[in-house]
Structure formats: structure tokens, C-alpha cells
Structure 1
Amino acid sequence: MKSKLLALIATLVVLLPAGVAANAAPSEPAYQAMNAQSLWDQGFTGEGTTVAIIDQGVNLTHPYFVGQIIDGYCFVEATSSYRCPNGTREQLGAEAASQRKIGSLYVATEDHGNMVAGIVAGNPTNEAPGGIAPGSDILMANVDLTLSGILAGLRYVDKRKEELNIVALSMSWGGYFTEIPREWLRCDTNPELQQMAAVLSSLRKGGVIPFASAGNTPTLDIATSLFPSCLQDAVAVGSVNQATEVSWYVTMSDKVELLAPDYAISANTFSYVRSSGTSAAAPLVAGSYALLRQAFPDHDAEQVLSALKASGKPINDVIRKSIPMVDLRAAYLLLSNTAVGGVIAPQPSAGQVLNVGTFNGKIVVYAKGYKGQTLSWRIAGKWQKVTVTKDFQAFDRLTSAIGLTVTIDLYLNGVTPAAFSKTVVTK
């Protein structure tokens, strides 16, 4: 059995020149695209939450990370020539999060951990905007990205989730197997990944949502998607560019649940970079999720995640349509109008209309902007289900009498849109 080396998921990054004019966090276009300002204005910065990251370490002396790393974990498998910062193969505590050094010098090329951690919760500085959730703490699992290292990091995060109030896990790396039986291509039945799947399941049951980069190879078959993003309990995150289009390189499949910008400014070993790749999108979603968990502490983890997806701005790809891009203002409004434990209902976006009326003894359901989606409704105990095939379409059904009062419960893709139960009088 051969396992292809795990790769950090990143694309080209551009160094920023020294002496960049001071930026406040709202000036970051990636954050503006997600309407983060609407939560910051209300004082929500992620305070009281922790986001765990499995990646390389960070430069603990970098201004972005001073005071931000609440805990760290390092693991290096026995066959590796590397060591943890204290010279051992396993280390706990904040110092374990340190980026690798040779002697006293940081290995500057191993700066991926700085980029992803900075997007989550970097301190705002005169040169860069800080993370999207600068009030959150970070648990940095600095592992060698072998299967044994990843599992060790996942188990440490799972162990500390309650004590540190870990709400999200960000993973911006991936791998896949070669020379395996064909049936193992499906992640959740691959025996090599069963332990990883089990820990991710434990995290979600414990209120921690694992976000994983979808990958930067434009492969269309979900069976070839990278792990961990292909695992059931990992939320796969794709990216959009500055034109708010799905980035050309995204490994797209039905598993991609959310989109986020790929171009936020973040840290490298000694300075700052403009990030790219789905590596940048996953921590941006994890940090956004932490903001909402602070804002709605009584709503459970899955309810907040559902709101993030249901309220997202739909983006069309050449492969899939209406993939939600995170919109924090819309998610906040949706959660504000949803009771604790209530069902999160999908919200119509601009140009989408659902309505019900009567005409010539018929009940008519109108749908605009829902092409390709499934509508179903119940009238007098009888169900009707249709697929919308046009941008604007009407569906009608005869009723038994004029002047009849009828209540119609309308469902979109199996879920009731917000407050959509309508009573009409047939005419």
C-alpha cells in the first residue's frame, strides 16, 4: 500500500513590500466581500472561542501571533529526521507551535502555517489587516502531515475541545492513496482513513466543525478528491477570486459545501503575503464561523453551520450551480430570526421569488430564480413535487371548489423556506 505524500494546499503568494501604508481590518477586500464588518461593528471578534489548526507551525515572535496562540501540539513520526521545537518527537504547550528552525534560524520557506493562522486570528498591525476573528485564540497543531501525525493532532484537538472552547478546526492540506483497491477510492469506506473519520465524527458531536480545503486541482470526480475534505464530517471549502467567481483551480464536486475568498493578506515567516488557494479559504470560513459562535452562543454548532450555508450568496460554477459563499451579515440576520433549536430555512437571494396564488379554480405556485431545484407542496393532505426547469415557471393544480380556504406548505429542496406557509381562498 502506498500513500502519496500529503501536500499543503497553496498556490502562488505575493510578497508585500516593506512600508505598506497602515490598514485597518475593514480595508481588506476579502473580508469586505464576506460582510465581516457587520459583525465587528457589534463587537463580535471571536472572543471566548478557539480555532484549532493542523498545519506547520508559526513564528511565535511575529506581530501577528503574539498573544494569539493559546496552546500548541507537535508530533513527528519516528522515521523522520525532524524534531519538535524542544528536540523531542512529541511536545505540548504553546512553544510546540513554533515554526521549524535550523539552529536559531527559522526555515522561512515553511511558512504555510503562518498564512492560515493569520487569516483566522492574526493581530491587526500597521502592515496587515489581522485575521477575520482577531479575538479568537488559536490551538496550533504543528505536525509532520503523515497519517500518524495528523491522527495525533486530531486526537489532541478532540481531547482539548471542551476546556478551550474549540469551535472550529481548519485543515489546509490533503493527500490521496495510490495502488489501492478500487472500492477504497470512496473516503468513508477506506480502511486507512477510518480512524481519521472517527475523530472528525467525535469533533462534530462535540460541537467542533472541521473545515477542510477542497484542493487546488480541477478534478471533477469526487472519488479522487483529497482527504480529509472528502470525508463525511469534514466541511469542504472551495474558493472564489476577486471577481467573485469560483477559482479556476478548485477541486470541485458535490462535496464542496461553502466558498470563501482566496486573496486575504496574511503573514509569512517574517512579513506579509497576499494568500491564494483553497488553503486560504478554509481558515477564512473557520474564523467566520467562530464569529457567529460568539454572537450566538446558545445556538448549537450544527445550527450555526446550517445558517452559514443557507444564507450564503449563491455562486455558479461550470460544474455546479448556487454554491453558497459566506455572507456574515446574512448569516447573522438568519440566526437572529431563528429560535434556538429551530430549523434553519434557506433564504431567497436577489432575483429569487416564491409565491402562491389562485386563478380560475386553480392553486398556482410561482418560482423565479430556482432553476434546477426541487419544489414540493402539500395541499389538503396531498403532495406534489416538481423540478424547476426554467428561470421563471408556474405550476398549477385544480381545486374542488371556489371559495375554499386552503393552507399551502411549500418546501424547497426538502426544507421549508422562512415562514412559507400560506393560506389562500380559491377563486
Structure 2
Amino acid sequence: MDEITELFPFESKVIEHQVKEIPKGVQMIQAPMYWEKGHKGKGVKIAIIDTGCDYTHPDLKDRIIGGRNFTNDDEGSPEIFTDYNGHGTHVAGTIAATKNDTGVVGVAPEADLLILKVLGKSGRGKNQWVTNAILYAIEQKVHIISMSLGSKIPDKFLLEAIKKAVEKNILVVCAAGNEGDGNPSTDEFRYPGGYNEVISVGAINFSGTSPIFSNTNREVDLVTPGVDITSCFPLSLVPNKKIPYKKLSGTSMATPHVAGALALLINYCQNEKEFNRSLSEAELYAQLIKRTVPLGLPKTSEGNGILYLTATEELTEYYKRNPIDLEVYQ
């Protein structure tokens, strides 16, 4: 099998001060507004297919419901999914770090995390491991799969596994990739992010512009913050164990914002005031895209725009103040 290369962060920064914050990216997509309504991802199971996770991290230990190792690390023991790289722990923190008045808070702070390790210490793994992890996630009846990884070469077995997940109404969220050249008219593809069946996530910075590293192509669905994202990091990989956090940049950091947001949307859509039922993968995708706002960037850079969870509410309020005059059509 061809090797699959993890989307190494475009940039990494050590944090040297105590952390107690709702990260800017979590705020920017309006996640706290959903928490206020009681939607925090409770009951939603998210599989993180990555480098593993530090399950002792104070912000994550209550979120992790299990895991499995598909790599050669620890002599291939399936029960040991320790993160020796840091990438997977960072992704997990953005998705679901617990709201515990210290450290950081994830987008869906009450979601359940299933940690599936497919990338080793070096950040590399095999497509077969990723494929096996997806099939395992399907068996475990997860609601969402988050993959901040990619290979330059398409893989038919990986694609078939993704199709099986989507058929089971599992939302598959993937990083677009970090090989961007700053030219939106040229395509850069990473797989599985380049497959139409997945939700492909590009990055923007906090000023709403596209960073040079974010891949551009016609399959990008939406963008979220992916520059200087503060999140969890393994205690064994930071200078000070009392500050187990780092700032990373990359589409790998944008992707978990969407995975967490989908958990909030599942809570929201299933409540009795809304649909009061489970939605299909296609219906949930539509609900996600309804909550994007174009930034004026090329479609290959931003897809449908930035994720903004309160977009529908704000549009409703606008039309209350500025009703549409339908009389002109009579």
C-alpha cells in the first residue's frame, strides 16, 4: 500500500503562558451561541482518525470513550493509541475539549471521542490503516469521522470505505491539504480531501483571508480558522506539563472546527423544536452549508464560504426588519 502523509502543521508555536480561554476559532464560528441553547454535542460520537491522542490530558480525559491503534507503534498493539506526535491531540482539543474552567474549550465540549490511530510518531501511515479505521468507525456506529490527513495518490479502497460510511449516514470531514501556492486558479489535491463524497475543509486566518498554504480546488466545501489555532498537546511533548497546549496552523486545524460544529448541528436539528428526528448525511450537509457566509474569495479557495453557525438566525432577523415585498408579483 502507498504511504499516506499526515498534513504536517504549516507552523507550530510553543505556548509559554497559562491558558484559560475559548479559542478564537471556536468563537469565530459562533459555537458558544449554540452552547447557550443547550447544544454541546452530547450523545454524538466522533471518530478522530489521526496520530492517536493523549488520553490523560485534563481537557480530554472525560471525552474519550475508547480507541484503537492501526499502526506499527507499540508493536502494533491495538489497545495502545498513545499520541507520540501531538497532531491528533491538537485536533481532538479543537473538536471537544471539555468546558472545565481551565485550558481550552472545544467546539462540541460534550461530544464523545473515539480515537483511531493510523499515523505513527513520524506522522506517516498506510492507506490500508486509514481504510481499516474507517470500517471500524462504521462498526462502532459513529456519527462523524474527522480526518486531518492526506495522500497525493487516490486509493480506491479508501474511497470505497468512505462511500460505505456515507451510506450509513456518517459525515466524513477531511482537510483540503497544505500544498497551496497562493494561486486560486491552480488545483492542489490531497486525498481523501479531494473526494466529492467528503466534506473538504480549507483554512482562513482570523482576518478572513486565505493563507498561502491552503489547497485550492473545486472540491473545497467551506473554510474555517486554521492559522495560530490554540489547542491541546500531549503532556509528554511540551516543555512545561502544566501548559499542555500549542498553536498550530494548517487545514488540519480547520477541519476539527467543522467536525465539532456538525455535532452541535445534530443536537440542534434533532431537538423537538426543529426536525425532532435523525437527519440523513445529505440533510445534515445541507444544514451545514446553510450556515456558511461567502467571504468574496474565489470558490476554489472558500467553497461556500466561512462556517458561521448563527447565519440562519441572523438572516431571519434581517428579514423581520426588512420583509420581502411579495405584492409586486401579484
Q: Could you say which TM-score interval applies, normalised by the shorter chain?
A: 0.7 to 0.9
Mark the CA change 1:256 to 1:67 in structure 2 (over 3 Å): closer, same or farther: same
Cα distance in 2, alignment partners of residues 131 and 59 from structure 1:
15
Note if contact 1:45-1:291 (Cα within 8 Å) is conserved in structure 2: yes
Structure showing greater radius of gyration is: 1
Contact 1:308 1:331 in 2 (8 A): no
Tell me the equivalent position of 1:130.
105
1:59 aligns with 2:40: no
- State TM-score, norm by structure 1: 0.65
8 A Cα contact 1:151 1:196, kept in partner: yes
Does the Cα contact within 8 Å between 1:158 and 1:199 map onto a contact in 2? no
Q: Secondary structure at the match of 1:323?
A: coil
Which of these residues, 244, 260, 267, is aligned with residue 294 of structure 1?
Answer: 267
8 Å Cα contact 1:246/1:315 also seen in 2 = no
The aligned counterpart of 1:269 is 234
**Following superposition of structure 1 onto structure 2, how do residues 351-390 of structure 1 map, counting pairs within 5 Å?**
none
Q: Give the aligned partner of residue 217 of structure 1.
A: 179
Given the alignment of the two structures, is residue 328 of structure 1 paired with residue 309 of structure 2, yes or no?
A: yes
Task: Please name the residue that 2:122 is paired with.
Answer: none
Pair 1:168 & 2:144 matched: yes
Q: Tell me how far apart the structure 2 counterparts of residues 204 and 319 of structure 1 sit (CA, whole Å).
A: 24
* Corresponding position: 1:72 with 2:59: no
Deviation at 1:159? Answer: 1.1
Cα distance in 1 between the residues matched to 2:218 and 2:323: 25
Residues 9, 215 of structure 1: 8 Å contact kept: no
Change (3 A) 1:63 1:224: same
User: Relative to 1, partners in 2 of residues 1:7 and 1:221: Cα closer, same or farther, differing over 3 Å?
Assistant: farther
- Alpha-carbon spacing, 1:244–1:221, altered in 2? closer, same or farther (3 Å): closer
Matched, 1:11 2:13: no
Distance in 1 between residues matched to 2:295 and 2:262, nearest whole Å: 19
Counterpart of 1:232 in structure 2 is 196
Q: State the Cα distance separating 1:284 from its structure 2 match.
A: 0.8
* CA distance 1:62–1:261, shift in 2 (3 Å): same
Q: Which residue of 2 aligns with 1:34?
A: 29
Letter in 2 for 1:140: I
| CA gap 1:127/1:272 in 2 versus in 1, 3 angstroms | farther
Residue 313 in structure 1 maps to residue 293 in structure 2: yes
- Post-superposition shift, 1:64? 1.8
Deviation at 1:60, TM superposition (A): 1.3
Provide, for residues 35-65 of structure 1, a one-character-per-residue CA deviation record: whole Å limited to 9, x for no partner: 1121010111000001111101111111122
Q: C-alpha displacement at 1:9, in angstroms?
A: 3.9
**What is aligned with 2:258?**
285
What secondary structure, in the 3-state scheme, does the structure 1 residue paired with 2:133 have?
helix
Change (3 A) 1:348 1:196: farther
SS of 1:306's partner is: helix
Distance 1:315 1:213 in 2: 19
1:53-107 CA-to-partner distances (Å, cap 9, x unmatched) read 110111111112212111211112xxxxx434xx4x251xxx53322xxxxxxx4
* Candidates 263, 266, 284, aligned match of 1:304: 284
Secondary structure at 1:71's aligned position in 2? strand
Question: Residue 165 of structure 2: which of 190, 203, 213 is its match?
Answer: 203
CA distance in 1, matches of 2:328, 2:297: 37
State the shift of 1:8 in Å. Answer: 2.7
C-alpha distance in 2 between matches for 1:302 and 1:348 = 27
> Against the structure 1 CA distance between its residues 126 and 272, is the aligned structure 2 distance closer, same or farther, given a 3 Å change threshold?
farther
> Residue 215 of structure 2 aligns with which residue?
251
Whichever residue aligns with residue 6 of structure 2, its letter is: A
- Runs of 4+ in structure 1 deviating by more than 3 angstroms, as ranges, are 2-5, 124-127, 219-224, 318-323, 331-334, 353-356
Q: 1:302 to 1:125 in 2, by over 3 A?
A: same
The aligned length equals 304
User: Greater strand share, 1 or 2?
Assistant: 1
Deviations 1:229-252 (A, max 9, x none): 111211110011010112221101
5 Å matches for 1:79-228?
A: 82-84=72-74, 87=75, 89-91=76-78, 95-99=79-83, 107=84, 110-144=85-119, 145-161=125-141, 166-177=142-153, 187=154, 193-218=155-180, 224-228=188-192
TM-score, normalised by the number of residues in structure 2: 0.83
Q: Which amino acid aligns with 1:266?
A: S
Give the number of the structure whose residues are more often helix, by fraction. 2
Identity score, percent: 22
1:307 deviation in Å?
2.0
Residue 54 of structure 1: SS of its match in structure 2? strand
- Which residue of 2 is the match for residue 46 of structure 1? 41
Query: What is the rounded CA distance, in whole Å, between the counterparts of 1:308 and 1:5 in structure 2?
Result: 28
| Structure 1 residues 331 and 200: alpha-carbon distance in aligned structure 2, compared to 1, 3 A threshold | farther
Structure 1, gaps ≥5 residues long: 77-81, 100-106, 178-186, 188-192, 338-346, 357-420
Q: Deviations over 1:138-157 (max 9, x none)?
A: 01101232111111111101
Gaps of 5+ in 2: 120-124, 236-243, 271-276
